[in-house]
């Protein structure tokens, strides 16, 4: 009797293996398109799961019969498994995205005017500078000539205006004494007014000429470190060349860094300003930096189908602009949750399930537990219901057991 049962058991197992082998060999043949092939594979997998479930049930019945017919053979059909006690703890899910470190305090030094030939450079690469510090000097010879000419004209007009005012006052006094003609007074007043207008225009010209001279001085717009220096005396320096990467002077303030990343639009409802993030910069060798999302883009890029997010970074000498980093956005967390390794969660045509070890009489058996799955992260799956914690969950050998099978841990 025992021999027949064993033979039947072996035949059933061999049949199942043969079905799986033939099925997957068949999947590799044919000229079906990829979509049709995927659909066929899904159908075949579901069919095999049903067949496996039926075979498991047949095996269980045969092993039960064997145990009744020959109690000493029960040990032979026990399945060796590994178990672990299911613990309750916190579970968190993160969206992991690659980003780039950027400096909020970064600026290219540029002239305020049209530019000119560089006369002198007062800083060097790697030097610390303060906001408003003189960085370089442009050639201001022409501007100073124009300033001097405007000042001379102003001086001349002032002298002429003083003379005209004296003549006007004299003519006015004579007219009061009934000496001379009224037209002389009127002409003298007109001369004063005309010269006064010319003087105001000349003074304005002096102001503009002085501004042109001042524009030859180029200052640092922010405090920081000279991170890029590509300007030398004698070359032409303009706003256009100053704004060209690799052709100007760049100042970076590393005390005010941020990580910038693009988030796919399918996460638009799960990412918001204020969400906690962990920022991993592998090259630093340091633990993840903790921060929060400070900026969420208001639009979706039509090309990448993503929106921009930013999070501030602490000041650290190991953090540099343009470094790559990983932003882990916390979009879900649960306290006192149950989580199991995702690989031990199996599924059939209807549900997901795991196997646990329970005592049944004087033996330990495998029990199938239907579960409701939640989020998956870092190799763990949250279990919403079906497990309560404290169970002995089967972590190794779970694929070859069935509900009610006698099992042992080998201890």
pLDDT of amino acid 25: 43
CATH of region 97-105+251-334: 2.40.30.170
Tens digits of residue pLDDT in 301-336 = 999 999 999 999 988 889 988 899 999 999 999 999
Strand duo 407-408 + 363-377: pairing: unpaired
Residue identified by tokens 């949250």 is 382
Residue 271 CA to residue 125 CA, distance in Å, equals 40
∠ CA 181-184-188, rounded to 5°: 155
pLDDT for res 56: 66
Closest CA to 68 of 4, 8, 2: 2
Model confidence pLDDT, tens digit, residues 237-268: 998 888 887 788 988 888 889 999 999 999 99
| Under 8 Å between Cβ of 295 and 310 | yes
Is 235 within 8 Å of 118 (Cβ atoms)?
A: yes
Residues contacting 22, CB < 8 A, separation 6+: none
140-215, CATH topology level? Helix Hairpins (1.10.287)
What DSSP designation does 49 have? Answer: H
pLDDT band at 374 (very low <50, low <70, confident <90, very high): very high
Q: Supply the angle between the helices 182-214 and 141-176 in degrees, to the nearest 10.
A: 160
Q: Is a pLDDT exceeding 60 seen at residue 92?
A: yes
Spatial separation of the C-alpha atoms in residues 43 and 172, rounded to whole Å: 115
Residue-wise pLDDT for 200-230, tens only, equals 999 999 999 999 899 999 999 888 889 889 9
Distance between CA atoms of 306 and 303, rounded to whole angstroms?
Answer: 8
CA dihedral angle for residue 376, residue 377, residue 378, residue 380, rounded to 10 degrees: -40
Per-chain mean pLDDT for the chain:
85
pLDDT of residue 50 exceeding 80: no
CB 135 within 8 A of CB 233: no
The β-bridge relationship of strands 363-377 and 352-360 is: antiparallel
CATH 2.160.10.10 fits 111-139+217-247, yes or no: no
List the alpha helices (DSSP H) in 215-335: 239-242
């Amino acid at each position: 009797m025992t021999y027949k049962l064993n033979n039947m058991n072996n035949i059933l197992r061999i049949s199942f293996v043969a079905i799986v082998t033939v099925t997957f060999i068949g999947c590799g043949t044919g000229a079906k398109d990829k979509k049709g092939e995927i659909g066929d594979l899904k159908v075949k997998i579901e069919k095999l799961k049903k067949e496996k479930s039926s075979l498991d049930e047949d095996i269980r019945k045969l092993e039960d019969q064997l145990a009744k017919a020959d109690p000493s053979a029960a040990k032979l059909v026990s399945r060796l498994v590994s178990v672990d006690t299911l613990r309750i703890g916190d579970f968190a899910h993160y969206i992991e995205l690659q980003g780039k470190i950027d400096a909020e305090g970064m600026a290219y030094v540029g002239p305020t005017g049209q530019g000119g030939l560089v006369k002198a450079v007062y800083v060097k690469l790697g030097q610390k500078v303060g906001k408003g510090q003189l960085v370089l000097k442009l050639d201001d010879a022409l501007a100073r000539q124009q300033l001097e000419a405007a000042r001379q004209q102003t001086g001349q007009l002032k002298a002429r205006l003083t003379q005209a005012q004296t003549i006007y006052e004299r003519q006015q006094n004579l007219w009061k004494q009934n000496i001379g003609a009224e037209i002389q007074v009127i002409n003298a007043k007109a001369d004063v007014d005309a010269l006064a207008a010319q003087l105001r225009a000349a003074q304005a010209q002096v102001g503009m000429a002085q501004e042109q001279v001042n524009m030859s001085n180029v200052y640092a717009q922010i405090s920081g470190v000279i991170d890029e220096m590509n300007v030398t005396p004698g070359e032409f320096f303009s706003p256009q060349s100053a704004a060209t990467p690799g052709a100007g002077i760049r100042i970076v303030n590393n005390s005010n860094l941020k990580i910038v990343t693009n988030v796919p639009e399918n996460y638009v409802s799960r990412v918001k300003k204020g969400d906690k993030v962990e920022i991993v910069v592998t090259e630093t060798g340091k633990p993840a930096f903790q921060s929060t999302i400070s900026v969420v883009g208001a639009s979706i890029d039509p090309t990448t189908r993503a929106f921009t997010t930013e999070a501030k970074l602490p000041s650290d000498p190991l953090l540099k602009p343009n470094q790559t980093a990983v932003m882990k956005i916390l979009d879900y967390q649960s306290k006192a949750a149950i989580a199991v390794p995702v690989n031990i969660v199996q599924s059939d045509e209807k549900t997901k399930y795991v196997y646990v070890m329970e005592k049944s009489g004087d033996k330990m058996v495998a029990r199938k537990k239907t579960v409701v799955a939640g989020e998956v992260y870092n190799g763990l799956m949250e279990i919403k219901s079906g497990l309560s914690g404290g169970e002995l969950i089967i972590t190794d050998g779970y694929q070859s057991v069935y509900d009610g099978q006698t099992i042992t841990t080998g201890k």
